[in-house]
Amino acid sequence: MNMKEMNGFTLAEVLVTIMVIGVLCVMIIPPLMTNTAQQEHITVYKKAVAILGHAIEQSYALDGEDASCFTGAKFVHLMTRKLNLATHVGNTVYTADGIKFTVQDSGGDCTTDGPNSKIVCAVVDVDTNGDKGPNKTTEAVNSVYDQFTISVYPRRVEPATQAQRDVLYMTGRHRNR
């Protein structure tokens, strides 16, 4: 059989094809991984806001207690009664699914304006993946990390910054993809 009659690819053609595929993978996979991690942090952040808001609403509906004078001890007590917790240390609570909530005592009384108060009762720092890295605060819509801050009012919770509000509600500039 003559070599010219054989059909197929040469070794050089196969190697070039594999190199092109490798270069494409190097260019495409890192942004995909970053976007996936950001989406995971956003999803857990939305869950954390919902969990904290629901715990406060449930406390008010069932026990008549809102988040006014929200101290670290009261926060831990509220969270242990309303959530499935893994553990708590001081003013920090870890949920069973790995979310870390840390309350900063406000020291102020937020009951003067009633349920629609504009006075913050407390600030809660949320780490969407517990103590794992990168442990950076999200400060812009296009660079989402694992730490967020939530402002606690007597009967509601909200993101503490405009950028985090934009992340939560997906408004503002579109994130890089």
Read off the pLDDT of residues 122-133 as tens digits, 9 standing for 90 and up: 889 999 988 888
pLDDT beyond 70 at 114? no
pLDDT beyond 70 at 54? yes
Cα separation, 144 vs 44, in Å, equals: 12
* Percentage of the chain exceeding pLDDT 70: 84
Query: How do residues 125-161 score in pLDDT, each as one tens digit?
Result: 999 988 888 888 888 777 888 899 998 888 888 998 8
pLDDT score at 172: 45
Residue 111 exposed, middle or buried by CB count within 10 Å (0-12, 13-18, 19+): middle
Decide the pairing of beta strands 92-95 and 85-89: antiparallel
HEC secondary structure over the chain: CCHHHCCCCCHHHHHHHHHHHHHHHHHHHHHHHHHHHHHHHHHHHHHHHHHHHHHHHHHHHHHCCCCCCCCHHHHHHHHHHHCCEEEEECCEEEECCCCEEEEEECCCCCCCCCCCCCCCCEEEEEECCCCCCCCCECCECCECCCEEEEEECCCCEEECCHHHHHHHHCCCCCCCC
For residue 103, give the 3-state DSSP assignment: strand
Neighbouring C-beta atoms of residue 51, cutoff 10 Å: 21
Domain regions of the chain by residue span: 11-169
pLDDT score at 173: 46
Query: How do residues 67-95 score in pLDDT, each as one tens digit?
Result: 776 677 777 777 877 777 778 888 888 98
